[in-house]
Structure 1
């Protein structure tokens, strides 16, 4: 049995683009192997996208399309830090699911 995988990406959205960013996120195409996708608001301008995937390989296969999608909204995002740029992304295997 393959281990499910998750990716989490933190964004800081420019105030003038919040509605456009939310629409973009709502309209994302289905990626092969993605089981679910949610967006949470963590602050006034801060959001985290959380994806649940069938496997690590599914994330790897979808990565080029996800990066291309990010390119279309990059202008809507504020820099999180000089080291990170406009996103803070992490991923890893799911270790507990209820």
Structure 2
């Protein structure tokens, strides 16, 4: 390609303008879609709830329950079952000793 054509291609704003136009159109469409009314969703709310205030927002840390990790929970369960089995074995041994 001759140097003059390459220089002219760099100077033309057409590719940049085309990209800007496409991005602007996409932004406009997304904004207009976000502002549209969706009656199928709005009409699902019962009449008695429409007049109620929005619930109070809570921080995510307090909203989620503090559950123990599965590894900790299974270890605690295993320890409890082992202790119970040990108590039952001792009880069975004590009952065997009592019989003549």
Same topology, TM > 0.5: no
TM-score by length of structure 2 reads: 0.19
Decide which structure has the larger Cα Rg and report it: 2
Question: Which is bigger in relative contact order (C-alpha 8 A, separation at least 6)?
Answer: 1
The structure richer in strand per residue is 1
